[in-house]
Amino acid sequence: MTDIIIAGIGQTEVGEHWEIGLRELAFSAIHSAVEDSGGLKPQALFVGNMLAPNLSRQAHLGALLADYAGLLGIESATIEAAGASGGAALRQGYLAVKSGFVDIALVVGVEKFTDKVGADVDAALATTGDSDFESIQGMTPAAQAALLMKRYMHEYDVPKDGFAGFALTAHANGVANKHAMFRKAIKPETYAKAEVISDPLNMFDMAPNADGAAAVILTRRDLLPSNFSHPLVKIAGSASSSDTLALHDRKDTLYFDAAQISAGKAMKQVGAVLDDIDLFEYHDTFSIYAALQLEAVGFAIKGKGWKLAADNEIGLKGKIPCATMGGMKARGFAGGASGVYQAVDAATQLRGQAEANQIPNAKIALIQSLGGPASTAVSHILQRLA
């Protein structure tokens, strides 16, 4: 089987980049990834983006970014799957190289939230839900997550501060990440005093919307440049699954079926079991999503995902390290770029380049991107080669 290598990685700092536009933001990550790969020139570009037509008044990002990056003439396309857009773009890049039709693929995720402010951002985010039955009633992603969290806490008798561990872990891990939006640890009492956004969801239970771009270069092992010096990290498994867009159409709103299916398929491709996973980059846009992912993937039984965070089992020295570079909570939620940031974080860990956040002897990572409440779930297994 052909090994698909993450040859180059690049990312921008996540934050409020008022001073630059979407194309400049993407170019910065692209340039870094190409340079990191030893100068590999991509034949195809896959862009992960969630809301540019709404927020930046810009569609057709494939052509725009190929042009701006000096890659005119290559194949290019934009992939949209709400918050899973970056993960979906990564999968398309992987499949393109795996098929043999593309030798070198560039995957970039980019989002520019600050092109709009206030209610315009909420309205744009609401388009990722079911327009006819959810968005039109005023349902936003935050309100939807709050409903799930409230039901979960009622169903499984979770205390008021039961989800604090997710935020505490993310912010502790974000301290040493120079690309993170928030680099300060928080205390339990800080979480307890936080402003409630949508009961019971408080400001530390949701990731901040922010601008950012991340990129990876994918190629086959035999096409790596002769001077390539990074430890080899390959994408060993890749899978995607979907569920109903509207929560009310599901048999069980408190179980992420698509997350379970995609993770299971990706792990089966590798022949891996849960004990083989050294780190898990989950999609922690909301604390409740992190808990439900831990349960869907199998790290916790149903109703006990929150306990892994409460007992610090997801910390850097825990049973299954999660959000190892701060996750979306501390790094910031860069929309369609988030799944590519996950790949960059995991590759950094597997290369042994995570410095203060390094997981010792990390060899296999699971990353999972979600579109909405796991209406789309894209999972990848990354593996370090000896």
In the predicted model, is pLDDT for residue 27 greater than 70?
yes
Residue type, 267: M
Pairing of strands 4-11, 212-220: antiparallel
Locate 79 and state its tokens. Answer: 């992939």
The confidence score (pLDDT) of residue 116 equals 96
The Cα 55–Cα 209 span in angstroms is 12
68-85 confidence digits (pLDDT tens): 999 999 999 999 999 999
DSSP string, 290-353: HHHHHHHHTSS-TT-HHHHHHTTTTSTTSSS-BSTT-HHHHH-B-GGGHHHHHHHHHHHHHHT-
Tell me the pLDDT tens digit for each residue of 277-314. Answer: 999 999 999 999 999 999 999 999 999 999 999 999 99
Two tokens, residue 290 = 């992190």
DSSP letters for 60-89? -HHHHHHHHTT-TTSEEEEE-BTBTHHHHH
Please indicate, yes or no, whether the overall pTM of this predicted structure exceeds 0.95. Answer: yes
Instruction: Report the percentage of the chain scoring pLDDT > 90.
Output: 98
pLDDT value at 1 more than 80: no
CA angle 223, 229, 235 (to 5 degrees): 55
Cα 205 to chain centroid, rounded: 16
45 has pLDDT over 90: yes
> What's the average model confidence in pLDDT over 32-54?
98
Q: What percent of the chain has pLDDT over 70?
A: 100
Question: 10 Å Cβ neighbour count for 172?
Answer: 19
How confident is the model over 250-269, as a mean pLDDT? 98
Confidence class of residue 275 from pLDDT cuts 50, 70 and 90? Answer: very high
Angle at 331 between CA 240 and CA 293, to 5 degrees: 35
- Please compute Rg for the chain using Cα positions: 19
Domains recognised in the chain with CATH numbers: 4-117+209-223 (3.40.47.10), 139-207+237-384 (3.40.47.10)
CB 26 within 8 A of CB 110: yes
Predicted pLDDT at 386? 76
pLDDT digits (tens, 9 = 90+) for 187-232: 999 999 999 999 999 999 999 999 999 999 999 999 999 989 999 9
> Is residue 183 predicted with pLDDT exceeding 70?
yes
Long-range pairs, 141-144, Cβ under 8 A, ≥24 = 141/285, 141/286, 141/372, 142/197, 142/198, 142/201, 142/206, 142/286, 143/198, 144/247, 144/372, 144/373
Q: What is the mean pLDDT of residues 228-255?
A: 97
Q: Which residues pair with 46 in a beta bridge?
A: 77, 107
Nearest CA among 57, 22, 343 for reference residue 213: 22
Averaged pLDDT of the chain: 97
Asked whether 242 and 375 are in contact (CB, 8 A), the reply is yes
